[in-house]
A and B are shown apart, each in its own frame.
Chain A
């Protein structure tokens, strides 16, 4: 996983609440059995005027000029700014894959849905929760195209001369800073898992053995 330490980039302001994962990556793209290549389909229904699927050549699509992502002032944006309850709905990790593949390294919002929030940390994307008032200020700042710097080591956002503090759970921060693979780390506890499992099998044997 790509580590996240300090990142500077253009902010894309997306002034909408309850952006759900169906909107971030519509169902027709979930048929892919790969982990990459979802970037061009991020926000597909809002981003293009015509319908598409995995077979449609992306260069044949008609971009929606009214959608923020197609606004030249935000070209190359890597920090997404949104309203409350971002990433609600389906658990599809494809939503984070699509954002990451589109180039987003960080999402800032007043609140996130739990599963999406969790999925971000597995993919080197940093979700930052800030107060609604601070979010309002950032929307004012980002309008028209602006860059900011997110420093996960210091847990600070640098907006021009101003610093905004944020908090990330220490365990998640450590893993993101180091770009650590959870599975490898958990398997270091193999013996403990085996002991726990052996005891469980003794005490509740009916939880073991499939009959399908």
Chain B
């Protein structure tokens, strides 16, 4: 029978189906960070349980780490305690670990793929909703809560109900300069933030196949913002070329055997999905969010929508609250919105390709005087080193951007990087919720090139309309 990619991976990891229909799934890779793991390790200690398979894990601190000089350690004692706790737990339970000082340290969803710790066909979990990122490799990857983190550590398995399947087919090609971020936001605008609830989404079609691995990761990363725990893309040459030679990737005879299996990781011809959605990439314009939910999104050349036109009263009420919080009025041109800060980074958009796209816009220009802070936070120490080898840091610095150390940073403001009340930010991150980037802060989600352009002009703008550099 024709199977979907999701069904293939499910079948390959099914240890047992319990009497009630719940599946016990084997987990190949468990990524661990400092925020959602301490209570899980404590639970193991209290119950006297060992870690089932230490080598299936990879631990790294990312949420709390400072992005400024790290020589002095972490200033905030509570943040420091959390990172110290991860250090201690990783040592005690002998987990593979990249501490803060390791050059391979970075955002957990950047370093997994970068190291080849994320491989096609794997089940990948982490106590973090953006684990959906790893589905870009034809893996089944999803975020879990801390109780499940403990469950994986103790049993190498998870209890799962089978999900419904959705295929989002993207026809055509994105306009030059448009990215996976624009595509992801357009999809969320189309199906809504709860559109994917209960589903695993497979992204397919020519516009998806044309994406690089970085682009596919951005797209799958944002799947959770559409409500789906997991997003996936079938394996092809792009996937295999990316994985080849990574430190954790198979070599020699194992490589050939792995590759043969990976080639089967796609939905079969005629496989049926519970829901199919089709989009035309050519219709997509650069996307920017205007509200406090990722589905509150519009093209940069559009106007802020009017709640009175929403129809649905619950939706209209949400829009009114959002406009009030964001300090915006219906009908206002999006390109008239001025920003105070610019953040280029996060597990959505901090990979080398993202930094190249932003640097291409920034090159030869300067941050607007009205912008208080424009910062670039690479996704990992290795991304940072690569960018520096390409001279991207020099381009950013010359333009007035700050060039920082890797981590989650202002995506969720657990470290010192945050918005002050009322400040408005052009951000390449994934969530524009109230207070996400700092209490009272206002977030506009967009692509790296669009964030860079907002930094240069001081307002939201279609980066393609910037006057050329003399």
B251 → chain A closest CB, angstroms:
8
Q: What range describes how many residues of B lie at the interface?
A: 35 or more
Q: Say yes or no: is A78 at the interface (Cβ < 8 Å to chain B).
A: no
Q: Sort A-B residue pairs by CB-CB distance and give the 10 closest, nearest first.
A: A212-B96, A206-B250, A122-B147, A93-B145, A171-B20, A33-B38, A119-B145, A91-B143, A210-B55, A91-B129
Query: B188-209: which residues lie under 8 A (CB-CB) from chain A?
Result: 193-194, 197-198
B358 → chain A closest CB, angstroms:
25
Q: Could you give, for residues 290-301 of chain B, a 1 whenever the CB lies within 8 Å of some chain A CB and a 0 otherwise?
A: 000100000000
Query: A89-121: which residues lie under 8 A (CB-CB) from chain B?
Result: 89-94, 96, 111-115, 118-119
Contact of A23 among B20, B193, B249, B435 (CB under 8 A): B435
Number of A-B contacts (CB under 8 A): 201
Q: Are A89 and B431 in contact (CB under 8 A)?
A: yes
Q: Are A22 and B315 in contact (CB under 8 A)?
A: no
Q: Are B155 and A183 in contact (CB under 8 A)?
A: yes
List the B side residues contacting A113 at CB < 8 Å: 194, 197, 227
Q: Say yes or no: is A63 at the interface (Cβ < 8 Å to chain B).
A: no
B89 → chain A closest CB, angstroms:
10
List the A side residues contacting B159 at CB < 8 Å: 182, 186
Q: Say yes or no: is A84 at the interface (Cβ < 8 Å to chain B).
A: yes
Q: Say yes or no: is B154 at the interface (Cβ < 8 Å to chain A).
A: yes
Contact of B98 among A18, A196, A212 (CB under 8 A): A212
Count, chain A residues at interface, CB 8 A? 64
Q: Say yes or no: is B364 at the interface (Cβ < 8 Å to chain A).
A: no
List the A side residues contacting B47 at CB < 8 Å: 183
Q: Say yes or no: is A193 at the interface (Cβ < 8 Å to chain B).
A: yes
A27 to B155, CA, bound (A): 29
**Known contacts A85-B197, A91-B128: does B39 contact A35 (CB below 8 Å)?**
yes
> Which B residue's beta carbon lies closest to that of A54?
B78
Q: Say yes or no: is B8 at the interface (Cβ < 8 Å to chain A).
A: no
Q: Say yes or no: is A167 at the interface (Cβ < 8 Å to chain B).
A: no
A23 to B24, CA, bound (A): 32
Query: A175-191: which residues lie under 8 A (CB-CB) from chain B?
Result: 182-183, 186-187, 189
Q: List 26 A-B contacts (CB under 8 A).
A: A17-B315, A18-B193, A18-B293, A22-B433, A30-B63, A33-B42, A45-B435, A84-B194, A84-B314, A85-B194, A91-B143, A93-B145, A115-B129, A115-B229, A118-B148, A189-B15, A189-B16, A189-B24, A193-B24, A193-B156, A197-B53, A200-B26, A204-B257, A206-B258, A209-B55, A212-B98
A3 → chain B closest CB, angstroms:
16
A122 to B39, CA, bound (A): 13
A201 → chain B closest CB, angstroms:
10
A196 to B433, CA, bound (A): 42
**Known contacts A27-B413, A207-B28, A212-B97: does B227 contact A88 (CB below 8 Å)?**
yes
Q: Are A55 and B78 in contact (CB under 8 A)?
A: yes
Q: Could you give, for residues 150-162 of chain B, a 1 whenever the CB lies within 8 Å of some chain A CB and a 0 otherwise?
A: 1100111101010
Query: B427-447: which residues lie under 8 A (CB-CB) from chain A?
Result: 431, 433-436, 439
